[in-house]
Structure 1
């Protein structure tokens, strides 16, 4: 139980660090007229192209919605992608923790194949990182040697994850969806239980700050593992944190590369940036300072998401660019609204919705599994029952996320005058 809570706390801390980067990136894009014109130039062809290919006589392999190719597109799909991106952005902005965990389950619930959802989410992350991150502001926080070793490992992990996802899809598209759903069931189930426990504990204690994160480097021998790893002299050795520790600290590049491979593998399998793993690995396993970790994490997000989305998914046709552009627009707006709404929304309620949204994602993927397993002949044939489970899971998921989004946007609109005065 203590190990599980510690793991949850470190994942929450890393998710908060990623959310801060996401908010800064969004502000960087929205605050630049040139970048807004670039974004418009990227989105306009998507809209015009969608209107142009709406003809029903297109061959199935090119535009048919029954085909597994990502070409089928309607303006409604583009609208749904904006809503999904906005909801993820609202969660990130409000909670101060990553909301990207809802994107892949939401896309799959909307009818997008799992492998397309993963590839599309990675491309959306990469596009946002490239457009919004001002790298020159962060170079002082980055150990180049750590970054290089980490990215070498991440490249190996991304390649392995991409190969597995594509191999499963080529074997059986339903098997691919099932595999991705199972991973999200375990992840969201774990996070959801602890998030709900945290919310109930805070409510019983009389509330608290929604952004109250875990305490890093707790007592009880938490640094024993980093110390052991740093004592191993396995060439090549990397020196880091010179500005914080006299003479700096040293660690083998091998250990850094191994951590990078795990992060890259998870990113390629789940369609996430990997930030929720990078932070706890750097701080609690390698012993890197939070200051250096944040800067290095920004670099790994750009290169890991870029390599995964392009080399492992785009070149094989597993990216739905329409959805990626819609999610980018929605998330840029959502994260700004969410961040401002925290000034007028009680923190305890935000934390409660956060826990509910994670649990809704868990239930959504859990209820989708029986139908997938039945299609693979692993469960008795009962399509009516499994379809009912799937529908109930989708309804519950979108109701919870929808209520959260409407509530936050409503609070933002009704308090707009107050927020404007404070600004």
Structure 2
């Protein structure tokens, strides 16, 4: 298997693992009356401050929020959360990747979109986690080493975003768009190739309908890393392997640094790479990985959201609440609809939704490069490219949403009976 294919399988497995976590915590909130009441209570100040200037409560850097906070902006945040939830619930992967691009497409500047997305993930983790049920499978030393690394990584990632912003806000905007363009383009086009092969009856190169891994990953890498004697050594998986497995705490911490940087730069919480990193690179059992992944999402997202963004005024709290409400609805509807849609259609929409996000971010780059004096395209050209990119993105999202809701309402009776 070529290295691009290996990277794709890794990222696809990562996306699916994060989606499983998202679905679990969302359903935990929806099925708990107390948590729903807390969420409703959080909505009260949101609507009470409908016409308050954004800069009054964001905490500064007002250029990074809408000029005024209105009900329509809150509804847009709910729509973004709803779309991400539908993709996560129905496809089982990819929803978390479109939140920051969608916020940026709606007019929220990059650094605020990243901070707000992180805070939304942190709030969801705190409200919906069921970590107490799985702590028995967590290796404490493994978790501590990883969290030390991820904590440092959030500082590095946050410093990158804030440093670019302080140098030139346009540079920060272009950087975030480039990062998402590379990630979404790579994932989207490989997913499209898989879909085309599957729709023609050929064997897909890897993965299931929900973007999961088909193979065993990279056990060779895990074996080499576990044989590397670099103190301090950590023992784990004692319940699954006689005597347990051993790996250097330095290696685990370095993995945490990577996750922390990705979380702080992209606003995705870091959970989307923890699972495949632990299983395929470190050789940790899935049972131990699940519990550690839940812990790291809470701490990494919390450290990044609060320590790197909120205290500097880069979290739009009302948008975060809107996204949380929308995603809860979307995940429930999407998860139910998977029972009445074909797997091949799910795979197709996964590829299309990711590519739409890629097109949207790429379409903003000519204008950003012009503003940075890197290029000199005509004003009409860059505005038209950006406009077309926005239209393509929102049309794809709207069609996907209407299709899912159409399937849901057409089969609502059947779905209720099955529940």
CA positional deviation for 1:280: 2.2
CA positional deviation for 1:225: 1.8
For residue 97 of structure 1, give the secondary structure of its aligned residue in structure 2: coil
> Counterpart of 1:146?
142
CA positional deviation for 1:210: 2.1
Distance 1:353 1:49 in 2: 37
> Counterpart of 1:113?
109
Distance 1:20 1:224 in 2: 26
Out of 65, 68, 81, the residue aligned to residue 63 of structure 2 is 68
Given that residues 63 and 73 in structure 1 are in contact (C-alpha distance below 8 angstroms), is that contact kept between their aligned partners in structure 2?
no
> Counterpart of 2:209?
210
Q: 1:72-92 CA deviation, whole Å, 9 max, x = no partner? A: 311100000001001000001
> Counterpart of 2:9?
9
TM-score, normalising length from structure 1?
A: 0.94
Distance 2:203 2:326 in 1: 30
Residue 100 (str. 1) matches residue 96 (str. 2): yes
Distance 2:264 2:179 in 1: 12
For residue 136 of structure 1, give the secondary structure of its aligned residue in structure 2: helix
Out of 406, 413, 418, the residue aligned to residue 402 of structure 2 is 406
Out of 230, 235, 251, the residue aligned to residue 239 of structure 1 is 235
> Given the superposition, is the C-alpha separation of residues 321 and 61 from structure 1 closer, same or farther in structure 2, using an over 3 Å criterion?
closer
Distance 2:57 2:14 in 1: 40
Distance 1:23 1:68 in 2: 34
Residue 252 (str. 1) matches residue 251 (str. 2): no
Out of 308, 311, 322, the residue aligned to residue 315 of structure 1 is 311
Which structure 1 residue ranges, 5 or more long, are not aligned? none
Residue 32 (str. 1) matches residue 32 (str. 2): yes
For residue 245 of structure 1, give the secondary structure of its aligned residue in structure 2: coil
Given that residues 233 and 246 in structure 2 are in contact (C-alpha distance below 8 angstroms), is that contact kept between their aligned partners in structure 1?
yes
Given that residues 367 and 389 in structure 1 are in contact (C-alpha distance below 8 angstroms), is that contact kept between their aligned partners in structure 2?
yes
Distance 1:223 1:159 in 2: 31
Aligned residue pairs: how many?
414
Q: 1:374-396 CA deviation, whole Å, 9 max, x = no partner? A: 00111115211101000000000
Distance 1:119 1:146 in 2: 27
> Given the superposition, is the C-alpha separation of residues 104 and 175 from structure 1 closer, same or farther in structure 2, using an over 3 Å criterion?
same
Given that residues 69 and 317 in structure 1 are in contact (C-alpha distance below 8 angstroms), is that contact kept between their aligned partners in structure 2?
no
Distance 2:386 2:124 in 1: 32
Out of 371, 374, 381, the residue aligned to residue 370 of structure 2 is 374
Which structure 2 residue ranges, 5 or more long, are not aligned? none
CA positional deviation for 1:167: 1.0
> Counterpart of 1:20?
20
> Counterpart of 2:186?
190
Distance 2:245 2:145 in 1: 15
Give the CA RMSD over aligned residues. 1.9
Distance 1:69 1:266 in 2: 21
Q: 1:165-203 CA deviation, whole Å, 9 max, x = no partner? A: 011111111111000000001000100111101111110
TM-score, normalising length from structure 2?
A: 0.95
